Amino acid sequence: MDTSTLDLETMKASAGRACRLMKVLSNPDRLMLLCQLSLGEKRVGQLEEILGIVQPTLSQQLTVLRDEELVSTRRDGKNIYYQIASPQALAVMNVLFDQFCGPQAGEAV
């Protein structure tokens, strides 16, 4: 088997996954949700309070994140907690935080 073809196929598959992640991140509500979750697990009510995203928009965006397997949930009584489940999404969120929210943010865009 030609390894350059294998590398190209691997590269195409990786590019497809990266594009799917970037497409999900291109929505401001989902980006803000992942930003908050990159700081740690949060209850749905906490996310609503912190971000001001109201139902049903919050539920809709969390569903997209779950469907894309970027977040996972756990239930504790009546509360549902969310956390980032994708190491790739967390890594991207860390870079975005450093570039846009950290101490040097906004200096050059």
Q: What are phi and psi of 6, to 5 degrees?
A: -60, -45
Amino acid 12 reads K
Between CA 28 and CA 97 the distance in angstroms is 14
Q: Which CATH number fits domain 27-98: 3.30.70.270, 1.10.3720.10, 1.10.10.10, 1.25.40.10?
A: 1.10.10.10
Cβ proximity of 84 and 70 under 8 Å: yes
Region 93-109: mean pLDDT is 77
CB of 41 within 8 A of CB of 82?
A: yes
Residue 59 to residues 8, 29, 38, 76, 83, Cα–Cα distance (Å): 38, 11, 18, 18, 15
The H or E element spanning position 54 is none
Over the stretch 3-30, which tens digit does the pLDDT of each residue have? Answer: 556 688 899 999 999 999 999 999 999 9
Number of residues written out for the chain: 109
Q: Is 81 helix (H, G, I), strand (E, B) or coil?
A: strand
8 Å CB contact between 84 and 38: yes
> 24-78: per-residue pLDDT in tens?
999 999 999 999 999 999 999 999 999 999 999 999 999 999 999 999 999 999 9
Read off the pTM: 0.85
